[in-house]
Structure 1
């Protein structure tokens, strides 16, 4: 792959990239004010990244999710979260349903039913914040996919350097999709 084959969209227009990060910060602040924890946001970010097939964002947000307290068991069965109901709270299940509906965009009646069920467990503020978080994460996924952001093996880097890898950079306190 030549340098011309890869185009980093996020680097090509820093103003737009910073604006998207600003939106993500606003959305994270609204989620926090609505009582949605960082762990719930990261579960949604990981699930959206799974659905979109964004390896870079998956790598990043799985680390953020672990740091936020999401269990390895929850992450391991996240693709089948509906079948593992006991592992996820009512809020987490509603948040995942909102994230999936915003990402997959099922047929209108199915989407309306899914979102109506999620609303039963959410306040208006939570419902709004989760939809905005899903829209924002989808945008970050698209940027990473279009840019073909590479996923680097932390294990290979450790072996090559002969030292322990640097600790994962923690997610910014208020930006659910930053760095993606």
Structure 2
């Protein structure tokens, strides 16, 4: 989930147009309903998250931010955020190939710059905090590629997408209905 996401609109649109079921005769599993809509039920928390997300991403390359958000969402198994950030990355000019390779970026390192690889490694360490904290060498590598303020924003961006992932996974936000830029200009 990002700054421009409104679960209220997404949940309402999903309920109205799909009613929790895949089109008849497709052979696909039925679409699960969302458990609840935190944007509607805790609007001040949601608005604060939107503002925090916007602040976290300031000064960072938008495509890099999308790559990091996709990778964190993969690790957290957040289908809603994977759908959103993959679409946003494509709309921002990212290639399908680089998005597809993110789950195995270490084996396909040649698709990414050293700076992107350092950001992805740091994002993984922060996301998987209980698997060894954030090793000094991972932090130091990122610090070689990012100025201190930029690094602080990158870490903040990783923390915020992890929070959004937890909202979306817990609330079972429904993937597949997001359109790039769908909520641009939405005031929080």
TM-score normalised to structure 2 length? 0.74
Shift of 1:92: 0.9
Question: What is the 5 A alignment of 1:8-27?
Answer: 8-27=37-56
Shift of 1:172: 6.4
C-alpha change, 1:148 and 1:138, in structure 2 (3 Å) is same
Shift of 1:15: 0.5
Shift of 1:138: 0.4
Q: Which has the higher helix share?
A: 1
Structure 1 consecutive aligned stretches of length 4 or more whose deviation exceeds 3 Å: 171-175
Aligned counterpart, 1:107? 132
User: What stretches of structure 1 of length at least 5 have no aligned partner?
Assistant: 155-166, 176-180
Moved more, 75-84 or 51-60: 75-84
Q: Following the alignment from structure 1 to structure 2, what is the Cα–Cα distance between the partners of residues 142 and 10?
A: 14
Instruction: Provide the aligned length of Structure 1 versus Structure 2.
Output: 154
Over residues 77-129 of structure 1, what are the superposed CA-to-partner deviations in whole Å (9 max), with x where a residue is unaligned?
11111121211012211111121111011314x62222222222221122111
Asked whether the 8 Å contact 2:90–2:96 carries over to 1, the reply is: yes
Q: Following the alignment from structure 2 to structure 1, what is the Cα–Cα distance between the partners of residues 104 and 79?
A: 18
Aligned counterpart, 2:105? 81
TM-score normalised to structure 1 length? 0.77
C-alpha change, 1:171 and 1:82, in structure 2 (3 Å) is farther
Asked whether the 8 Å contact 2:35–2:171 carries over to 1, the reply is: yes
Q: Following the alignment from structure 2 to structure 1, what is the Cα–Cα distance between the partners of residues 40 and 81?
A: 16
Is 1:125 the counterpart of 2:173? The answer is no
Shift of 1:76: 1.1
Over residues 117-148 of structure 1, what are the superposed CA-to-partner deviations in whole Å (9 max), with x where a residue is unaligned?
22222211221111000000001000001111
Shift of 1:7: 2.2
What SS is found at the alignment partner of 1:73?
helix
Over residues 49-85 of structure 1, what are the superposed CA-to-partner deviations in whole Å (9 max), with x where a residue is unaligned?
0000000000011000111121111111111111212
C-alpha change, 1:20 and 1:120, in structure 2 (3 Å) is same
Shift of 1:169: 3.3
Q: Following the alignment from structure 2 to structure 1, what is the Cα–Cα distance between the partners of residues 72 and 138?
A: 16
Question: What is the 5 A alignment of 1:128-147?
Answer: 128-147=152-171
Shift of 1:8: 2.2
Q: Following the alignment from structure 2 to structure 1, what is the Cα–Cα distance between the partners of residues 167 and 40?
A: 10
User: What stretches of structure 2 of length at least 5 have no aligned partner?
Assistant: 1-19, 21-32
Is 1:72 the counterpart of 2:96? The answer is yes
